[in-house]
Protein backbone atom coordinates (compact mmCIF):
# COMPACT_ATOMS: atom_id res chain seq x y z
CA UNK A 1 0.00 0.00 0.00
CA UNK A 2 2.79 2.42 0.95
CA UNK A 3 4.64 1.63 -2.27
CA UNK A 4 1.52 2.42 -4.29
CA UNK A 5 1.11 5.79 -2.51
CA UNK A 6 4.78 6.63 -3.07
CA UNK A 7 4.53 5.71 -6.74
CA UNK A 8 1.39 7.85 -7.13
CA UNK A 9 3.12 10.82 -5.47
CA UNK A 10 6.14 10.57 -7.75
CA UNK A 11 3.86 10.45 -10.81
CA UNK A 12 2.22 13.77 -9.84
CA UNK A 13 2.84 16.33 -12.56
CA UNK A 14 5.60 18.81 -11.90
CA UNK A 15 5.72 22.04 -13.86
CA UNK A 16 7.97 25.04 -13.57
CA UNK A 17 7.27 28.43 -15.12
CA UNK A 18 9.75 31.30 -15.05
CA UNK A 19 8.72 34.87 -15.93
CA UNK A 20 10.90 37.97 -15.85
CA UNK A 21 9.37 41.40 -15.52
CA UNK A 22 10.68 44.95 -15.23
CA UNK A 23 8.89 47.17 -12.71
CA UNK A 24 9.50 50.87 -12.19
CA UNK A 25 8.94 52.77 -8.99
CA UNK A 26 7.67 56.34 -9.13
CA UNK A 27 10.04 59.28 -9.09
CA UNK A 28 10.55 60.14 -5.42
CA UNK A 29 11.65 63.59 -4.29
CA UNK A 30 15.20 63.79 -2.92
CA UNK A 31 14.64 67.00 -0.97
CA UNK A 32 15.64 70.04 -3.06
CA UNK A 33 18.19 68.06 -5.07
CA UNK A 34 15.89 66.34 -7.54
CA UNK A 35 14.25 62.96 -8.01
CA UNK A 36 15.21 59.32 -7.73
CA UNK A 37 13.56 56.50 -9.67
CA UNK A 38 14.23 52.81 -9.10
CA UNK A 39 13.78 50.13 -11.78
CA UNK A 40 13.77 46.45 -10.76
CA UNK A 41 14.04 43.33 -12.89
CA UNK A 42 12.28 40.54 -11.05
CA UNK A 43 12.31 36.82 -11.84
CA UNK A 44 9.16 34.99 -10.75
CA UNK A 45 9.34 31.20 -10.60
CA UNK A 46 6.15 29.20 -10.18
CA UNK A 47 6.62 25.52 -9.38
CA UNK A 48 3.59 23.25 -9.35
CA UNK A 49 3.78 19.73 -7.95
CA UNK A 50 0.42 18.05 -8.23
CA UNK A 51 -1.97 20.60 -6.72
CA UNK A 52 0.67 22.39 -4.62
CA UNK A 53 1.90 25.68 -6.09
CA UNK A 54 5.00 27.52 -4.87
CA UNK A 55 5.86 31.03 -6.10
CA UNK A 56 9.25 32.64 -5.53
CA UNK A 57 10.43 36.06 -6.65
CA UNK A 58 14.04 37.23 -6.90
CA UNK A 59 15.39 40.64 -7.83
CA UNK A 60 17.98 40.05 -10.54
CA UNK A 61 18.82 43.65 -11.46
CA UNK A 62 18.37 47.14 -10.00
CA UNK A 63 19.00 50.48 -11.66
CA UNK A 64 18.34 54.10 -10.79
CA UNK A 65 18.08 55.84 -14.17
CA UNK A 66 16.97 59.10 -12.54
CA UNK A 67 18.92 60.61 -9.67
CA UNK A 68 20.10 64.11 -8.65
CA UNK A 69 22.81 65.17 -11.09
CA UNK A 70 22.42 68.92 -11.46
CA UNK A 71 25.81 69.85 -9.99
CA UNK A 72 29.25 68.32 -9.97
CA UNK A 73 28.88 67.63 -6.25
CA UNK A 74 25.54 65.83 -6.77
CA UNK A 75 27.08 63.70 -9.49
CA UNK A 76 30.04 62.82 -7.27
CA UNK A 77 27.86 61.92 -4.28
CA UNK A 78 25.38 59.86 -6.27
CA UNK A 79 28.02 58.02 -8.28
CA UNK A 80 29.15 56.73 -4.89
CA UNK A 81 25.72 56.21 -3.30
CA UNK A 82 23.65 54.62 -6.10
CA UNK A 83 25.93 51.54 -6.51
CA UNK A 84 25.87 50.99 -2.73
CA UNK A 85 22.08 51.24 -2.62
CA UNK A 86 21.57 48.94 -5.59
CA UNK A 87 23.98 46.37 -4.10
CA UNK A 88 22.02 46.53 -0.87
CA UNK A 89 18.84 45.65 -2.79
CA UNK A 90 20.48 42.79 -4.68
CA UNK A 91 21.60 41.18 -1.42
CA UNK A 92 18.13 41.33 0.17
CA UNK A 93 16.68 37.93 0.95
CA UNK A 94 13.10 39.18 1.18
CA UNK A 95 11.08 41.85 -0.57
CA UNK A 96 11.80 44.40 2.13
CA UNK A 97 12.33 48.11 1.43
CA UNK A 98 14.35 48.61 4.64
CA UNK A 99 17.82 49.34 3.34
CA UNK A 100 20.86 50.93 4.95
CA UNK A 101 21.14 54.62 4.17
CA UNK A 102 24.33 56.05 2.70
CA UNK A 103 25.99 58.76 4.78
CA UNK A 104 26.40 61.98 2.84
CA UNK A 105 23.58 60.99 0.51
CA UNK A 106 20.71 60.96 2.96
CA UNK A 107 18.17 62.63 0.66
CA UNK A 108 19.05 60.29 -2.20
CA UNK A 109 18.88 57.27 0.12
CA UNK A 110 15.41 58.17 1.42
CA UNK A 111 14.10 58.86 -2.09
CA UNK A 112 15.64 55.62 -3.34
CA UNK A 113 13.90 53.70 -0.53
CA UNK A 114 10.56 55.35 -1.35
CA UNK A 115 10.76 54.48 -5.03
CA UNK A 116 12.01 50.99 -4.14
CA UNK A 117 9.04 50.36 -1.85
CA UNK A 118 6.55 51.19 -4.61
CA UNK A 119 8.47 49.04 -7.11
CA UNK A 120 8.47 46.09 -4.67
CA UNK A 121 4.71 46.40 -4.20
CA UNK A 122 4.24 46.37 -7.97
CA UNK A 123 6.57 43.36 -8.29
CA UNK A 124 4.55 41.38 -5.75
CA UNK A 125 1.39 41.85 -7.83
CA UNK A 126 2.64 40.14 -10.97
Residue 93's pLDDT is 73
Q: For residues 16 and 94, what is the distance between their CA atoms, to the nearest angstrom?
A: 21
Please check whether residue 126 is in contact with residue 45, taking contact to mean a CB–CB distance below 8 angstroms.
no
- pTM given for the model: 0.84
Asked if pLDDT for residue 112 goes beyond 90, the answer is yes
| Separation of first and last alpha carbons in the chain | 42
Cβ 36 vs Cβ 111: under 8 Å: yes
Q: Poorest-confidence range of 4-13, 57-66, 102-111?
A: 4-13
Residues 47-63: tens digit of each pLDDT: 999 889 999 999 999 99
Domain ranges (residues) in the chain = 11-124
Examine the pLDDT at 3 and tell me if it is beyond 60. no
- DSSP label at 96? -
69-82: buried (b, 16+ CB within 10 Å) or exposed (e) per residue? Answer: eeeeebeebbeebb
Amino acid sequence: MLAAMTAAASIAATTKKVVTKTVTGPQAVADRWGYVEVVLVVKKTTTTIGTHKKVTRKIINVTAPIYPNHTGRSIFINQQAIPLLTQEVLTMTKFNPNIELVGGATATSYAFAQSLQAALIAAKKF
